Amino acid sequence: MTTYPKTSRLMNRGTDFLGCDYAILCGAMSWVSERNLVSAISNAGGFGVIACGAMTPELLDTEITETKKLTGKPFGVNLITMHPQLFELIEVCKKHEVTHIVLAGGIPPKGSVEAIKGESGDDAKVICFAPTLALAKKLLRSGADALVIEGMEAGGHIGPVSTSVLAQEILPELAADHLVFVAGGIGKGQAIAGYLEMGAAGVQLGTRFACATESIAHPDFKKAFFRASARDAIASVQVDPRLPVIPVRALKNKGTEAFTAKQIEVAGSLDREEVAMAEAQLQIEHYWAGALRRAVIDGDVEGGSLMAGQSVGMVKQEEPVADIIQTLMAESEEALTRR
Ligand SMILES: Cc1cc2nc3c(=O)[nH]c(=O)nc-3n(C[C@H](O)[C@H](O)[C@H](O)COP(=O)(O)O)c2cc1C
């Protein structure tokens, strides 16, 4: 007998797939989703995901080892598809028998899904982000075991379409036969109930967990979240049409303006043919990684990047991960019971 029978029933496919009690993933957040937060999420019955970001294979090796010391429950690893050592990182995950790998940052390069699944075809599960229905179908044909659809309300790098529209476009088409997790803008269990009823196998949240007690984010980073409202979490603007910059949603601060200046600087280097397009884009991504680190680790809430989704207005105080998960489940259950 579970405490949340209606929600658990709708999450059943998701929990079977993830091997946890609640089909609530904590989306990987660079610098935030390390051993402490990841193990806390998994220990509380959710599904933690290590953010590999720009880590070297050696660093990822250590992070997985340390996470395993803190939890015996399953957790995933998020790898960025354009990482130059993607295949080495996959090998590290395989060495540790990581059960689920989330591929973020675009279409997985040739051979990567096969490498993860191995000769058995089932070494580990692959979860991919699907930005459109057409790409969702393509990713499933290419071997993805599950999909995350993430709307532009989310924190961090975002696409152009809202979660509610993606959910309406993709869930009715695919959710009956495939596992689809919904992310972006979820702050309360009532929203979880809604997406589950639409066919989602579960949900992924980032912003709501970033300031949990177990998160190592700097106290000033957390304070900035507690003070912010939805309208403070804004998407970055692209200043040069030739320089396609993936928008990032973060709390508005001096760092937001510095990013505009950075883009103008990089566009100037492109004009003067000092850098090629790929290098220009890489410089932009490195800028974000550095700025996020300054905010999360050093507490530079003025000059760093405070990546946050619009649900930040629903984050009011530091709470243990287990309490957040129980609140979300109770809210969802209450909503479903009221139906
Ligand atoms: C501070 C922060 C850092 C993030 N870093 C990453 C990342 O490194 N890789 C990734 O795939 N997603 C990243 N995300 C997105 C989250 O994994 C998650 O999908 C998103 O936060 C869900 O939307 P929400 O913020 O509305 O809950 C980040 C989000 C935040 C808030």
Q: What angle do CA 36, 39, 45 make, to 5 degrees?
A: 140
Per-residue model confidence as pLDDT tens digits over 182-232: 999 999 999 999 999 999 999 999 999 999 999 999 999 999 999 999 999
List strands edge to edge, sheet with 248-251.
156-157, 248-251, 233-235
* Paired strand residues for 181: 148, 202
Q: Which structural domains are found in the chain, ordered by start?
A: 5-217+315-338 (3.20.20.70), 229-307 (no CATH)
Any ligand 1 atom below 6 A from CB of 153: yes
pLDDT for the residue 172? 98
Query: Which ligand 1 atom lies nearest to the CA of residue 150?
Result: 19
Alpha helices, DSSP H, located in 96-240: 112-117, 133-141, 163-174, 189-197, 207-210, 219-227
Q: How far is the CA of 29 from the centre of ligand 1 (A)?
A: 5
Low-confidence ranges of the chain (pLDDT < 70): 1
Tokens representing 315? 């984050």
Q: How far is the CA of 227 from the centre of ligand 1 (A)?
A: 19
Query: Which ligand 1 atom lies nearest to the CA of residue 250?
Result: 31
Burial 161-184 (b: 16+ CB within 10 A, else e): bbbbebbeebbeebbeebbbbbbb
Residue 31: other Cβ atoms inside 10 A:
19
CA distance 175 to 172: 6
Q: Where are the beta strands (DSSP E) in the chain?
A: 24-26, 47-51, 76-80, 100-104, 125-129, 146-150, 156-157, 179-183, 202-205, 233-235, 248-251
Helix-, strand-, coil-residue percentages of the chain, each rounded to 5: 45, 15, 40
Any ligand 1 atom below 6 A from CB of 163: no
CA torsion sign for 173, 192, 80, 157 is positive
- Length of the chain in residues, anyone? 339
Q: How far is the CA of 28 from the centre of ligand 1 (A)?
A: 6
Alpha carbon 253 to its chain's center:
22
**In testing the pocket of ligand 1, which one of 24, 25, 26, 30 has its CB within 8 Å of the most ligand atoms?**
30
CA distance 310 to 251: 9
Query: Which ligand 1 atom lies nearest to the CA of residue 129?
Result: 11
CA distance 80 to 250: 20
Any ligand 1 atom below 6 A from CB of 40: no
Residue owning the nearest CA to atom 17 of ligand 1: 27
Any ligand 1 atom below 6 A from CB of 307: yes
Any ligand 1 atom below 6 A from CB of 112: no
pLDDT for the residue 1? 57
Which of 282, 271, 286 minimizes the C-alpha distance to 240? Answer: 271
Per-residue model confidence as pLDDT tens digits over 228-278: 999 999 999 988 888 888 899 999 999 998 988 998 999 999 889 999 988
CA distance 274 to 285: 18
pLDDT for the residue 245? 83
* Paired strand residues for 251: 233
One-letter amino acid at 209 equals: F
